[in-house]
Each structure stands twice: as C-alpha cells, then as structure tokens.
Amino acid sequence: MSSQPHIRGIAFVRSAHAELVAGLDCGDTRWGNLATEWIQGPRAVRSQALGTQVLLYLDHADLLVGFGSIGPNKWTIEGEPVELRYIPMIGLASSHQGKPEHVAFSEKFSGLIVADLITRAVQFGHRLLGLLCHPDNTAAMKLYVRFGFEQLPTSDGFGNRHMVLRLS
C-alpha cells in the first residue's frame, strides 16, 4: 500500500458541514485563528455568495484535514485591471501541519491542498492565480514560494502582500 497521503475535496455546505468544521482547529496562532474563524464564521458563506468555491479536504479515513477556497477577483497590477483566480483562505488542521514528515513539499497535506487549488484555477483558463499573505506568516509564505508564487510590490491595508502564480 502507498504511504503517500491522499485527500479529496468536497464542496463545503454550511448546513451539512457546520458540525464538521466546528471541530477544525487550524492552530492557536494569529494565522491559525484567522483561518479557523474564516471557515466557522460567516466569511466562508459570504465568499461563496461571491462565486468562491470552498472545499473541505478529507483524508482516506474521511477525517477533516483542512480547507481551501478559490474564486474570481479583479486586481490592478502595474496600473492595469486584471481578472484572476484568487485564493481567499487556506487552513490546515493543526494535527496535519508539517505532515507527513520527510516527504517533498508537494506531497505534504499543505502541498496537496495548494496543488488541488492550482488545478482548479487552471481549469478556469485565467493566466494568474492570486492570494494575499502576510510576510510574518512564514509557513504560508514558504509554501507559496515553493509552488512558484511571486510577491508583487503591493500590499493590502493590513500588511498582506499580493502574490501571484503565473499559470501559462
């Protein structure tokens, strides 16, 4: 049997999955708390109303590993309006952070989630996938850079850097 982790994404439905996400803990850090609040509170549902897909990721035993999200957005890059796919939030259960150990970044649970979101972005045919990441969020920043995301020179009003992955 393969020792590689396997995850599958299912569409988040608040009415069906409220209890499942109530048990998700993305870690007791500033970023972990933000992610947990995002999926448990109103922001995930508000994001869905704007066209964002919110995915819950389950492991081989159907345990909740984490979540990801991807939707439409418009940014201004170098003075030009650009339509792109955008990742509003990713969160990994603290029990699965850094796991499995001693595998390539793309085979960790975090990498599997990012790879799935990139695949979904490619299917939309946009040239860019964007997200916001605070430079102090070291784990997230390293993860995104490993996948080829580049920092733009701009930030939002909260110090989060605009980052993009070129898809074509």
Ligand X SMILES: CC(C)(COP(=O)(O)OP(=O)(O)OC[C@H]1O[C@@H](n2cnc3c(N)ncnc32)[C@H](O)[C@@H]1OP(=O)(O)O)[C@@H](O)C(=O)NCCC(=O)NCCS
CB of 79 to ligand X, least distance (A): 25
- Tokens standing for residue 108: 């960790």
Q: What CA–CA distance (Å, rounded) separates 50 from 5?
A: 32
33 φ/ψ angles, rounded to the nearest 5 degrees: -65, -40
Is residue 129 close enough to count as binding ligand X by CB under 6 A?
A: no
Token digits for 8?
Answer: 């599958």
Question: Smallest gap, in angstroms, from Cβ of residue 132 to ligand X?
Answer: 7
CB of 129 vs ligand X, minimal distance in Å: 13
Contact 159/135 with Cβ under 8 angstroms?
A: yes
**Interaction of residue 108 with ligand X, rule CB under 6 A:** yes
Contact between 142 and ligand X (CB under 6 A)? Answer: yes
**Of residues 58-87, which lie at the interface with ligand X (CB under 6 A)?**
none
- C-alpha to C-alpha distance for 64 and 146, rounded to whole angstroms: 24
Residues in touch with ligand X (CB under 6 A): 26-27, 31-32, 35, 90-92, 97-98, 105, 108, 110, 133, 137-140, 142-143
